């Protein structure tokens, strides 16, 4: 392969001589204890998450900055992330599920915890016993929570979700009108501590839907007794002061995602996914790579196969579209991502390469948004799809 000879001169191949047994890849600690080789890593930078929370406070001030930690803190680990946010000054959290609120309570014993799924009848006892505040999504839930207040002879806190155009959860216009006309009766026994809605298109600063929902939310607020108001998640914060109200609910930005990919990201990278190179291989022009033979080399090439696949959360959709990075140099994914492996064309990486070298798949060079674009999805799905097979490390705890 004369055209690719230059590649062999700069590659260190860790290959056993023919006929010799290759032992499993292992590493040895300072004490001499042998531990399993760690092929892939997910690093969560706790200091970056704390810094991102401070950035939200700066961008949203004087509105209160809460933190959305649903889905295991967007896949980063609730048990490690929540205490960091508490130390950073966060005293209000949002989760989706009842069980998430129950898990969060001992980690943030003094905080207010909102449960976005609301107050389903079977959840009422646990909501009360764990001091969780439901976000009520319908007249029926308002009635059920008010009945619980009467039954326990207490005044219960509640959030109320008003639908302004998402048509998912939240009071529709007809139920809002009913609540507005009968609020004294229907809210008896309840302390409404938040009126909220949710933006559908906040990732696009020019979307007309943003202003439409803002106007609808303001109208809804005028129909109900005064209470703290919340409209903006991370993307809404970036839309400006009109959208901030009393409290903001950042999620993606805390974990380093860019809420408006068309603009520079104000948040620090908080998640990094890497894998080691298991094998380097020189191939001739015209060779195929991976399942289905979906990629064919157009030149003599140097390929690197790394220990990461869709079982680790590296989406198969990035096959032939995505990229990794070696030493800050982007290298294309070639062929299909398989369950445990991914192959890259590293022909143009300068310097010597060897097995065991690190490839970044999400992080400082290849951003969440880069991977999301390659997979035709969003950063949220990437974060929450990361599996626990890759070794997790937590850095920079403040």
Torsion angle of alpha carbons 364, 370, 374, 380, nearest 10°? 100
Closest by CA position to 230, among listed 264, 196, 274, 199: 196
Closest by CA position to 199, among listed 159, 157, 251, 158: 251
Residue 22: the pLDDT is: 33
Residue 226: the pLDDT is: 97
Q: Decide: residue 236, CB within 10 A, 0-12 exposed, 13-18 middle, 19+ buried.
A: buried
Q: Which CATH class is domain 46-255?
A: alpha beta
Degrees to nearest 5, angle at CA 259 with 253 and 264: 95
Every domain of the chain and the residues it spans: 2-37+270-395, 46-255
Residue 20: the pLDDT is: 30
Q: How far apart are CA 356 and CA 218, in angstroms?
A: 57
Contact 239, 218 (CB under 8 A): no
What's the length of the chain? Answer: 398
Question: Strand, coil or helix: what is 365?
Answer: coil
Instruction: Please report how the helices 46-60 and 78-87 are oriented relative to each other, as an axis angle in degrees rounded to 10.
Output: 50
State both tokens at 320. 């032939």
The tokens 């929902």 sit on which residue? 213
Q: How far apart are CA 176 and CA 266, in angstroms?
A: 36
**Tens-digit pLDDT profile for the chain (398 aa)?**
334 433 333 344 333 333 333 333 333 333 444 445 689 999 999 999 999 999 999 999 999 999 999 999 999 999 999 999 999 999 999 999 999 999 999 999 999 999 999 999 999 999 999 999 999 999 999 999 999 999 999 999 999 999 999 999 999 999 999 999 999 999 999 999 999 999 999 999 999 999 999 999 999 999 999 999 999 999 999 999 999 999 999 999 999 999 999 899 999 999 999 999 999 999 999 999 999 999 999 999 999 999 999 999 999 999 999 999 999 999 999 999 999 999 999 999 999 999 999 999 999 999 999 999 999 999 999 999 999 999 999 998 66
Check residue 352 and report its DSSP letter: -
For 364-369, which contacts have Cβ atoms below 8 Å and span 24 or more sequence positions? 364/269, 364/272, 364/328, 365/325, 365/328, 365/329, 365/330, 366/322, 366/323, 366/324, 366/325, 366/330, 367/258, 367/265, 367/269, 368/256, 368/257, 368/258, 368/271, 369/257, 369/258, 369/261, 369/265
| HEC string for 195-238 | EECCCCCCCCCCCHHHHHHHHHHHHHHHHCCCCCEECCEHHHHC
The tokens 């943003």 sit on which residue? 210
Of the listed 70, 74, 255, 310, which one is catalytic? 70
Of the listed 218, 243, 291, 394, which one is catalytic? 291
Closest by CA position to 120, among listed 102, 100, 142: 142
Closest by CA position to 309, among listed 273, 357, 281, 346: 273
Our answer to whether residue 241 is catalytic in this structure is no
**What DSSP assignment string belongs to 297-314?**
-SSSEEEEEES--GGGT-
Superfamily of domain 2-37+270-395: Lyase, Ornithine Decarboxylase; Chain A, domain 1 (2.40.37.10)
| HEC string for 154-202 | CCEEEEEEECCCCCCCCECHHHHHHHHHCHHHHCCCEEEEEEECCCCCC
**What DSSP assignment string belongs to 262-284?**
TS---S---EEEEEEEEEEEEE-
Residue 156: the pLDDT is: 98
Residue 16: the pLDDT is: 32
Greatest Cα pair distance, the chain, in angstroms, is 86
Residues with Cβ within 8 Å of 47's Cβ and at least 6 positions away in sequence, in order, are 395, 396, 397, 398
What's the half-sphere exposure (Cβ side, CA atoms, 13 Å) at 288? 6
Strands 271-283 and 288-289: unpaired
Check residue 260 and report its DSSP letter: S
Q: What is the CA radius of gyration of the chain?
A: 25
- Phi-psi category of 124—alpha, beta or left, where left has phi over 0 and alpha has psi -120 to 50? alpha
Our answer to whether residue 291 is catalytic in this structure is yes
């Amino acid at each position: 392969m004369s055209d690719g000879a230059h590649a062999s001169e700069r590659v260190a191949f860790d290959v056993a001589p023919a006929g010799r047994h290759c032992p499993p890849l292992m590493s040895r600690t300072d004490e001499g204890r042998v531990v399993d080789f760690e092929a892939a890593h997910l690093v969560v930078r706790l200091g970056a998450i704390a810094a991102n929370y401070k950035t939200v406070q700066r961008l949203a001030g004087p509105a209160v900055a809460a933190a959305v930690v649903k889905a295991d803190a967007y896949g980063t680990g609730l048990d490690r992330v929540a205490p960091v946010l508490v130390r950073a000054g966060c005293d209000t959290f949002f989760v989706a599920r009842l069980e998430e609120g129950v898990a969060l309570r001992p980690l943030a014993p003094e905080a207010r915890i909102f449960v976005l799924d609301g107050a389903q009848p079977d959840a009422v006892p646990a909501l009360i016993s764990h001091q969780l505040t439901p976000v009520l999504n319908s007249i029926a839930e308002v009635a059920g929570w008010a009945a619980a207040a009467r039954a326990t002879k207490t005044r219960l806190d509640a959030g109320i979700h008003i639908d302004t155009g998402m048509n998912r959860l939240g009071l529709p216009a007809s139920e809002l009108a009913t609540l507005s006309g009968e609020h004294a009766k229907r809210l008896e026994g309840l302390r409404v501590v938040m009126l909220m809605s949710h933006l559908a298109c906040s990732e696009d600063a020019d979307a007309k839907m943003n202003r439409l929902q803002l106007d609808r939310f303001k109208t809804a607020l005028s129909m109900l007794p005064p209470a703290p108001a919340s409209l903006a998640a991370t993307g809404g914060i970036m839309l400006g002061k009109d959208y901030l109200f009393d409290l903001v609910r950042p999620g993606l930005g805390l974990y380093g995602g860019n809420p408006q990919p068309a603009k520079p990201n104000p948040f620090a990278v908080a998640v990094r996914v890497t894998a080691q190179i298991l094998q380097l291989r020189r191939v001739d022009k015209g060779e195929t790579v991976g399942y289905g033979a979906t990629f064919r080399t157009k030149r003599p090439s140097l390929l690197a196969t790394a220990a990461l696949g869709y079982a680790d959360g590296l989406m198969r959709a990035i096959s032939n579209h995505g990229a990794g990075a070696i030493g800050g140099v982007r290298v294309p994914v070639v062929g299909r991502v398989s369950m445990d492996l991914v192959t890259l064309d590293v022909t143009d990486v300068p310097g010597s390469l060897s097995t065991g070298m690190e490839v970044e798949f999400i992080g400082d060079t290849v951003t969440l948004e880069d991977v999301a674009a390659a997979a035709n999805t969003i950063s949220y799905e990437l974060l929450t799809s990361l599996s626990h097979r890759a070794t997790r490390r937590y850095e920079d705890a403040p």
